[in-house]
Amino acid sequence: MAIYENIWYLVICVSVIFYTVLDGFDLGVGALHLFARDDRERRVFLNAIGPVWDGNEVWLIIIFGGMFAGFPAAYATICEAFYTLIMILLAAIIFRAVAIEFRSKVENKKWRFTWDVIFSFSSILMAFIIGVIMANLIQGIPLDQNGDFVGTFGGFFTPYSILLGFTACALFAMHGAVFLLMKTEGTLHDHVRKWINPAIVVFLIFYVMTTLATLMYMPHMLKMMRASPWLFIVVLIAMLAIANVPRCIYKGHDGFAFISSSCSIAFLFFLFGIGIYPNLVRSSINPEHFSLTLYNAGAAASTYKVILIVACIGVPLVLAYGFWIYRIFRGKVTLDDTSY
């Protein structure tokens, strides 16, 4: 039966990677939105993500749906423990969507600036909350022997979780800047290009700090790699992908820079999945006995057989739809009467 849990864990990990890569540049564009110089540039930013932002969030539904179906005990604990953080995340998603749709409905500077601020703040807040939740899954949360959360909301905000929250914001901002570089042209393209190096530098600073903090205070994240040293290849690939971003930018290969940025996110989150394995929710009280793992929080074997069939049908359809949309709206952004 263990094979089913591992397959489903891989499905969820792949969904997390697709979400962070695709919605990651949406959040990055939102974080950089207020740095645009005028209304036209902000409209270009919105229309760069306009055709795809809502489809990108489908992966978030797949992640939570996958947890509910495959690991119901872990899903229940996560929703109980992170209830307030999840509600804040959902509120940010809602306000971000409303801001995108309402922003250009009225030609009024105050109206548009208000929604611009809401859009940007919601994007940054989403990225930060994602980082905080990840950090708490790494360091563990107080779970008792019944798998019940016995901590407080304030306990989620430790120096490590706040650091990882800022790292997530910096990572997505860099990713969003590279995406905008690929989608813009003319003077705006030149303006965005000036953001790339500062964005990369800020991310690298937070990345190095987070890596050092993880190595020093979260040694369990290296357990799998110590047991299987070949996994350090993933670390090497992630570092090479990050280093290749400024190289591609310097050579004017914006598309390849975006691919490298996407690969860096994919492999960094793959490392996260490797590090916490086989835990789904780590207990900070007694990690060995109170943690929820793939094996003590999984569904019945018959359930896995059904949901794997559904996944084999549904996930390719989501991928095909995404490929079709990205292919239709490829190229530089142009504004017309139907634009945001």
Phi, psi dihedrals of residue 143, rounded to the nearest 5°: -115, 135
Q: Is the pTM of this model over 0.85?
A: yes
Q: Mean of the pLDDT values across residues 1-15?
A: 88
pLDDT tens string 267-326: 999 999 999 999 999 999 999 889 999 988 888 888 888 999 988 998 899 889 889 988
Tell whether the model's pLDDT for residue 339 goes beyond 80: no
- Residue 147: per-residue pLDDT: 84
Check residue 161 and give its pLDDT. 96
Average pLDDT over the chain, rounded to an integer = 91
pLDDT value, residue 166: 97
Tell me whether residue 340 is in a domain.
Answer: no
All residues at 6 or more sequence positions from 251 whose CB lies less than 8 Å from its CB, including other chains: none
Q: For residues 130 and 59, what is the distance between their CA atoms, to the nearest angstrom?
A: 14
Tokens 């997505």 -> residue = 172
Give the C-alpha separation, 204 to 210, whole Å: 10
User: Structure tokens of 213?
Assistant: 């903090």
Tokens encoding 146:
């019944």
3-class SS letters over 80-120:
HHCHHHHHHHHHHHHHHHHHHHHCCCCCCHHHHHHHHHHHH
In a domain, 243, yes or no: yes
Q: Report the b/e string of 39-77 with b at 16+ CB within 10 A.
A: eebbbbbbbbbbebbeebbbbbebbebbbbbbbebbbbb
End-to-end CA gap in the chain: 50
Is 110 within the bounds of a domain?
A: yes
Q: What's the pLDDT score for residue 54?
A: 86
**pLDDT value of position 299:** 87
Q: Strands 279-281 and 292-293: what pairing?
A: antiparallel
Give the separation between CA 89 and CA 130, rounded to whole angstroms: 8
Please check whether residue 337 lies inside any domain of the structure: no
195 with 32: CB under 8 angstroms? yes
Cα–Cα distance, 51 to 46 (Å, whole number): 9
Phi, psi dihedrals of residue 149, rounded to the nearest 5°:
-75, 130
C-alpha span between 8 and 306 (Å, rounded): 12
String of DSSP letters for 194-233 = HHHHHHHHHHHHHHHHHHHHHHHH-GGGGHHHHHSGGGHH
**Can you tell me whether residue 281 is helix, strand or coil?**
strand
The pLDDT of residue 55 is 87
Domain that holds residue 138: 1-329
| Within-domain flag for 183 | yes
pLDDT at 2 over 80: no
* Radius of gyration (C-alpha) of the chain in whole angstroms: 20
Asked if the model's pLDDT at residue 1 lies above 80, the reply is: no
Nearest residue to 276 (alpha-carbon basis) of 254, 297, 245 = 297
In a domain, 335, yes or no: no
3-state secondary structure (DSSP) of residue 176 = helix
| Residue range 203-212: mean pLDDT, rounded | 94
Q: What angle do CA 21, 26, 32 make, to 5 degrees?
A: 120
Question: Is 336 inside a domain boundary?
Answer: no
Q: What is the pLDDT of residue 301?
A: 85
Q: Which residues contact 292 (CB under 8 A, 6 or more apart)?
A: 71, 73, 74, 77, 143, 147, 279, 280, 281, 283
Domain count, the chain: 1
Q: How confident is the model at residue 86 (pLDDT cuts 50, 70, 90)?
A: very high
For residue 239, is it within any domain?
yes
Mean pLDDT, rounded, for 243-260: 91
Inter-residue contact 127 to 172 (CB < 8 Å): yes
For residue range 123-180, list pLDDT tens digits in order: 999 999 999 999 999 999 999 988 889 989 999 999 999 999 999 999 999 999 999 9
Q: State the Cα–Cα distance between residues 114 and 41, nearest whole angstrom.
A: 16
pLDDT of 65 over the 60 cut: yes
- Split at pLDDT 50, 70, 90, the class of 90 is very high
Measured CA to CA, the distance from residue 13 to residue 147 in angstroms comes to: 22
Residues, the chain, total?
Answer: 340
pLDDT of residue 50: 86
